[in-house]
């Protein structure tokens, strides 16, 4: 686990600035939700933390390390996307262990980690199955399993539930929170869904137009919104 510290972080694509000098402190073990309308820069921020997008200026630290110039593989993070493409011709166990195998970890250690993650995610009975034989929720769990086996310091989620139907989405919210209760891994979770943010977050970061409008616990934002944008965004049903 580690804290994530962001200072004066900016991002431009060509001449277009999309992230305007963000400062953010994420505490060790915290579940932080980035929320805001489409296009406000949530994914860009997450991808800069992950190292999938270059920083234009500013600093990102994970624990003690300044990671700005480190490749994704050296940042000790694991990311879960909304389009969790599983390898169709690999079993659940092989899907979960693949990244570790690519890193040259020995088989006994991989098996051990896959087994432990499967237990946490309720996937033990499915380890020998292929993705096509799984439900949407089970596939989503496998995608999380691939992140968990790496035992990262930080989990990054980018709208992981937006392809699921409403009922499953509510169930998975609870499961992801329970997972966090068990693992206590520092988590940054992106969504455009206010309800998701309110029900899952220890701390919510409300963004608009590449800026942070307010940071606070869910009830704090609800009771004392800093401005009319936060009030209307948090207060309106999704
Ligand atoms: P969100 O995830 O909050 O919907 P994004 O971080 O994806 O927002 O995008 C923020 C802004 O940056 C948007 O205006 C988007 O059009 C722009 N953007 C994102 N990626 C690129 C890119 N590769 N090239 C140019 N503009 C981009
Ligand atoms: Mg996005």
Q: pLDDT by residue (tens digit) across 19-51?
A: 999 999 999 999 999 999 999 999 999 999 999
Q: Whole-prediction pTM value?
A: 0.93
Q: Would you state the structure tokens that stand for residue 57, as one six-digit string?
A: 């200026």
Euclidean distance between CA atoms 47 and 31, whole angstroms: 17
Left, alpha or beta for 134 (phi > 0: left; psi -120 to 50: alpha)? beta
Q: Would you state the structure tokens that stand for residue 174, as one six-digit string?
A: 């609870």
Within 10 angstroms of residue 213's Cβ, the number of other Cβ atoms is: 20
- Indicate the angle between helix axes 107-121 and 166-183, nearest 10 degrees: 120
Helix (H) or strand (E) holding 42: helix 42-50
**Closest ligand 1 atom to the C-alpha of 40?**
3
Within 10 angstroms of residue 62's Cβ, the number of other Cβ atoms is: 22
Q: In the prediction, which pLDDT does 236 show? A: 64
77 C-alpha vs ligand 1 centroid, how far in Å? Answer: 22
Which residue numbers in the chain have pLDDT < 70? 1, 83, 236-238
| Residue partners of 147: CB distance under 8 A and separation at least 6 | 78, 79, 80, 155
124 C-alpha vs ligand 2 centroid, how far in Å? Answer: 32
**Closest ligand 1 atom to the C-alpha of 44?**
6
Cα–Cα–Cα angle for 92, 98, 103, rounded to 5 degrees: 160
35 C-alpha vs ligand 1 centroid, how far in Å? Answer: 14
Which residues are in the CB-under-5-Å shell of ion ligand 2?
Answer: 43
Q: In the prediction, which pLDDT does 81 show? A: 78
29 C-alpha vs ligand 2 centroid, how far in Å? Answer: 23
Ligand 1 site residues, Cβ closer than 6 angstroms: 13, 18, 36, 38-44
Q: Which of 224, 222, 226 is nearest to 235 (CA)?
A: 222
């Amino acid at each position: 686990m580690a804290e994530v510290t962001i200072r004066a972080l900016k991002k431009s694509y060509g001449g277009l600035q999309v992230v305007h000098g963000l400062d953010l402190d994420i505490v060790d073990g915290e579940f932080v939700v980035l929320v805001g309308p489409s296009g406000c820069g949530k994914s860009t921020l997450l991808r800069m933390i992950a190292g999938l997008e270059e920083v234009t200026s500013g600093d990102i630290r994970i624990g003690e390390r300044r990671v700005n110039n480190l490749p994704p593989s050296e940042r000790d993070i694991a990311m879960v996307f909304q389009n969790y493409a599983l390898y169709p011709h690999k079993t659940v166990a092989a899907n979960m262990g693949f990244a570790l195998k690519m890193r040259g970890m020995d088989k006994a250690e991989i098996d051990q980690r896959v087994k432990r993650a499967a237990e946490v995610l309720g996937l033990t009975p499915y380890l020998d199955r292929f993705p096509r034989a799984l439900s949407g929720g089970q596939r989503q769990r496998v995608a999380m399993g691939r992140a968990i086996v790496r035992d990262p310091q930080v989990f990054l989620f980018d709208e992981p539930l937006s392809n699921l139907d409403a009922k499953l989405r509510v169930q998975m919210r609870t499961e992801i929170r329970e997972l966090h209760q068990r693992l206590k891994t520092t988590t940054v979770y992106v969504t455009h869904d206010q309800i998701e943010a309110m029900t899952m977050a220890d701390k919510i970061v409300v963004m608009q137009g590449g800026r942070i409008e307010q940071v606070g616990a869910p009830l704090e934002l609800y009771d004392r919104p800093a401005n009319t944008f936060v009030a209307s965004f948090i207060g309106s049903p999704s």
